[in-house]
């Protein structure tokens, strides 16, 4: 397995195989996607207000074959969050907001950058025949994108902005198209990711200049003829993108903030948001969206395969993080086998 011991310090270790407890299955990990949140742990030693207290196995986008458990022999995608199931939030269906939720590769809960993992049965989703392990692992970012679009109530005829076209943003572009959005404006600073957004269904693509805080406000307003968009989903984790989202939303529109800033701070123009009467929503992980994600991929409505630009063996885990951090591609996947 690969444990993060400090900033950019991942070490390969041999440890005893985990033993599944009651209600858990043992999985042979087949694929693990490296997420932007993993990169925060790698490059900063933490994320938000959570820091590295002890060596941690990263990896929360994962799929594997069940070795022991009710689904033995099946390829499954794993929901990386384990809610308590008993608090008010859980009982009301907001398991993603559970105050005591445990999350793979976060805090004290080891993730999936290893050969074997024990995980709760209720967090495992069998995938249809024909889906690869890599696609199954990437159901997690698609499920996150679906939750963000759900917060914005995207439906037939909605005009949508997606700010940040990493893997989750590109999933959001595809899902918004499938939900019937009449216009999808994609904003991104990396040309190859902007080109991918156009291939995946964005009706308009808007480049933004390099550097933190760079703005695409004027280009966004030009792209929408000054009218603005019904829903703007921010997935860049950049203060400039949040400002652009507020500027691009129409009066009475909705801004969904899903990006994770490096300094744990997000701000925007209060006067502009107030004058427009915007609804501001914050997206945290996912909320029961795995079945919908599976259906979209099985039907061919969403293409996850083309997001993968590098597959790296677990023995070169540090290299996988360096490739992902360079952002010269889109999605880096680690294959433990």
Tokens of 195: 């080109």
Buried b (16+ CB within 10 A) or exposed e, 64-103: bbbeebebeebbbbbbbbbbeeebebbeeeebbbbeebeb
* DSSP-based three-state secondary structure for 209: coil
Tokens of 13: 């270790």
Q: Say if strands 279-282 and 75-78 run parallel, antiparallel, or are unpaired.
A: unpaired
CA angle, 188 then 251 then 189, to 5°:
5
Res 212: pLDDT: 61
- Please state at what angle helix 167-178 crosses helix 191-199, rounded to 10 degrees: 20
Residues 142-195: pLDDT tens digits?
999 999 999 999 999 999 999 999 999 999 999 999 999 999 999 999 999 999
Nearest to 120 by CA among 18, 52, 41: 18
Res 318: pLDDT: 96
Cα-based distances in Å from 145 to 86, 132, 173, 250, 253: 26, 20, 9, 21, 19
Confidence (pTM)? 0.94
Residues 249-299: pLDDT tens digits?
999 999 999 999 888 889 899 999 999 999 999 999 999 999 999 999 999
Residues 301-332: pLDDT tens digits?
999 999 999 999 999 999 999 999 999 999 99
Tokens of 198: 């156009």
Residues 39-95: pLDDT tens digits?
999 999 999 889 999 999 999 999 999 999 999 999 999 999 999 999 999 999 999
What is the percent of the chain with per-residue pLDDT over 70, rounded to a whole number?
98
User: How is residue 64 annotated by DSSP?
Assistant: E
Name the CA dihedral angle for 297, 303, 305, 310, rounded to a multiple of 10 degrees.
Answer: -130
Residues 190-234: pLDDT tens digits?
999 999 999 999 999 999 877 666 678 788 888 888 899 999 999
Cα-based distances in Å from 28 to 22, 321, 322, 331: 18, 22, 25, 21
Q: Report domain extents, the chain.
A: 2-138+304-335, 142-282
Contacts of 210 (CB under 8 A, 6+ apart): 189
Q: What is the CA radius of gyration of the chain?
A: 19
Instruction: Judge whether 163 and 231 are in contact, CB under 8 Å.
Output: no
Contacts of 243 (CB under 8 A, 6+ apart): 215, 217, 267, 268, 269
Banded model confidence at residue 335, pLDDT cuts 50, 70, 90: very high
Query: CATH for 142-282?
Result: 3.40.50.720
* CATH architecture, domain defined by 2-138+304-335: Alpha-Beta Complex (3.90)
Residue 129, phi then psi, degrees to nearest 5: -55, 140
Flag whether pLDDT at 113 surpasses 80.
Answer: yes
């Amino acid at each position: 397995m690969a444990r993060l011991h400090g900033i950019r310090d991942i070490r390969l270790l041999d440890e005893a195989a985990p033993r599944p407890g009651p209600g858990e299955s043992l999985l042979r990990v087949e694929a693990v996607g490296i997420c932007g949140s993993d990169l925060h742990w790698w490059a900063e030693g933490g994320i938000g207000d959570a820091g590295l207290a002890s060596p941690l196995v990263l990896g929360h986008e994962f799929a594997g074959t069940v070795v022991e458990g009710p689904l033995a022999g099946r390829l499954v995608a794993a929901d990386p969050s384990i809610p308590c199931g008993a608090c008010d939030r859980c009982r009301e269906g907001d398991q993603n907001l559970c105050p005591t939720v445990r999350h793979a590769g976060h805090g004290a809960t080891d993730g999936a950058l290893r050969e074997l993992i024990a995980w709760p049965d209720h967090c495992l989703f069998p995938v249809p025949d024909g889906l690869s392990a890599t696609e199954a692992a990437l159901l997690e970012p698609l499920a996150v994108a679906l939750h963000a679009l759900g917060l914005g109530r995207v439906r037939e005829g909605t005009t949508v902005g997606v700010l940040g076209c990493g893997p989750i943003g590109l999933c959001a572009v595809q899902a918004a198209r499938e939900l019937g959005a009449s216009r999808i404006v994609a904003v991104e600073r990396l040309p190859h990711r902007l080109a991918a957004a156009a291939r995946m269904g964005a009706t308009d693509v808007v480049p933004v200049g390099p550097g933190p805080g760079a703005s695409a406000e004027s280009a966004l307003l030009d792209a929408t003829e000054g009218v603005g968009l019904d829903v703007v989903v921010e997935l860049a984790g950049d203060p400039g993108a949040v400002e652009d989202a507020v500027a691009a939303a129409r009066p009475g529109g909705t801004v969904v903030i899903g990006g994770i800033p490096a300094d744990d701070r997000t701000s925007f123009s209060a006067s502009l948001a107030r004058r427009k009467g915007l609804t501001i929503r914050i997206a945290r992980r996912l909320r029961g969206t795995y079945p919908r994600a599976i259906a979209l991929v099985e039907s061919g409505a969403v293409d996850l395969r083309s997001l993968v630009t590098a597959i790296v063996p677990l023995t070169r885990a540090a290299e996988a993080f360096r490739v992902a951090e360079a952002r010269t591609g889109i999605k880096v996947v680690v294959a433990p086998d």
